[in-house]
């Protein structure tokens, strides 16, 4: 199997994947997953791709409401096994090994491509954003959901190293074929929408 991780990216093997899946239920991750799923549901999107899906929380939530085709990719084969197992019986949810630099669903185009708490793992952010933009429908968008560095409190303070810093994010986006379309905050979470220039 091809290794889609780059040097310096956190690798999720069998043990770490299981611990992550269990930890999501304890840590403030459910809040950001609720935010992302609710936000995407309101958008009216019909085709969605989750980049760095992990155990598939957001795609599974979206697939359960129906009327939307949801795809999830992750560089960890173990995470994909967990997501696929959890989505059994959901015909509108598909998972595959991939990354922000390799989308295996090459024939597909998406209304929304999103990353929920995985953008901070990407080593080549400019390259990844430009690459992913090729898979958008004409009016599609890329949405980044992360912890908001300026609003962290409680247990979530531990996520500071992974939180989105808008100054650096704007600098990164300025080097791509994309522009910031909108920004929404909800508590300690932030969503930034990107569209083609």
Domain 28-196 is of which CATH architecture?
3-Layer(aba) Sandwich (3.40)
Pairing of strands 136-147, 189-196: antiparallel
Cβ atoms within 10 A of the Cβ of 177, count? Answer: 13
Please determine, for residue 49, whether its predicted confidence score (pLDDT) is greater than 60: yes
Tokens coding 165: 């810093």
pTM for this entry:
0.88
User: What local confidence, expressed as pLDDT, does residue 107 receive?
Assistant: 93
Please determine, for residue 113, whether its predicted confidence score (pLDDT) is greater than 90: yes
Average pLDDT over residues 60-80: 94
Give CA–CA dist 32/41, Å, rounded. 14
Q: What DSSP assignment string belongs to 2-47?
A: ---PPTTSPP--HHHHHHHHHHHTTSTHHHHHHHHHHHHHHHT-SE
Of 179, 151, 168, 174, the residue nearest 31 (C-alpha): 151
Give CA–CA dist 52/159, Å, rounded. 17
Please determine, for residue 164, whether its predicted confidence score (pLDDT) is greater than 80: yes
| Residues whose CB is less than 8 angstroms from the CB of residue 191 and which lie 6 or more positions away in sequence, other chains included | 35, 36, 39, 143, 144, 145, 183, 184, 185
Of 151, 77, 138, the residue nearest 110 (C-alpha): 138
So where are the chain's domains?
28-196
Cβ atoms within 10 A of the Cβ of 180, count? Answer: 15
User: What local confidence, expressed as pLDDT, does residue 149 receive?
Assistant: 78
Average pLDDT over residues 100-123: 94
Which of helix, strand or coil describes residue 122? coil
Average pLDDT over residues 122-132: 96
Query: For a pLDDT cut of 70, what percent of the chain falls above it?
Result: 80
Structural contact between residues 47 and 109, judged by C-beta atoms closer than 8 angstroms: yes
Sign of CA dihedral 155, 160, 161, 163: positive
Average pLDDT over residues 1-5: 67
Largest CA distance in the chain: 43
Please determine, for residue 16, whether its predicted confidence score (pLDDT) is greater than 60: no
* Alpha carbon distances (Å) from 163 to 2, 44, 108, 168, 195: 29, 27, 30, 11, 22
User: What local confidence, expressed as pLDDT, does residue 147 receive?
Assistant: 86
Tokens coding 84: 């696929």
């Amino acid at each position: 199997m091809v290794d889609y991780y780059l040097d310096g990216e956190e690798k999720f093997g069998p043990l770490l994947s299981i611990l992550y899946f269990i930890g999501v239920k304890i840590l403030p991750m459910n809040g950001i997953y609720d935010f992302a799923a609710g936000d995407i549901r309101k958008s009216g999107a019909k085709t969605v791709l989750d980049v760095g899906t992990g155990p598939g929380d957001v795609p599974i939530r979206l697939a359960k409401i129906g009327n939307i085709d949801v795809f999830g990719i992750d560089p960890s084969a173990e995470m994909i096994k967990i997501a696929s197992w959890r989505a059994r019986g959901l015909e509108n949810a598909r998972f595959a090994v991939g990354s922000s630099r390799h989308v295996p669903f090459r024939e597909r185009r998406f209304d929304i491509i999103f990353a929920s708490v995985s953008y901070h793992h990407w080593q080549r952010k400019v390259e990844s954003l430009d690459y992913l933009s090729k898979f958008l429908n004409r009016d599609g968008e890329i949405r980044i959901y992360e912890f908001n560095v300026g609003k962290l409190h409680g247990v979530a303070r531990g996520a500071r190293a992974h939180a989105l810093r808008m100054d650096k994010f704007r600098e990164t986006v300025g080097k791509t074929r994309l522009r910031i379309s909108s920004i929404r905050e909800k508590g300690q979470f932030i969503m930034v929408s990107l569209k083609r220039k």
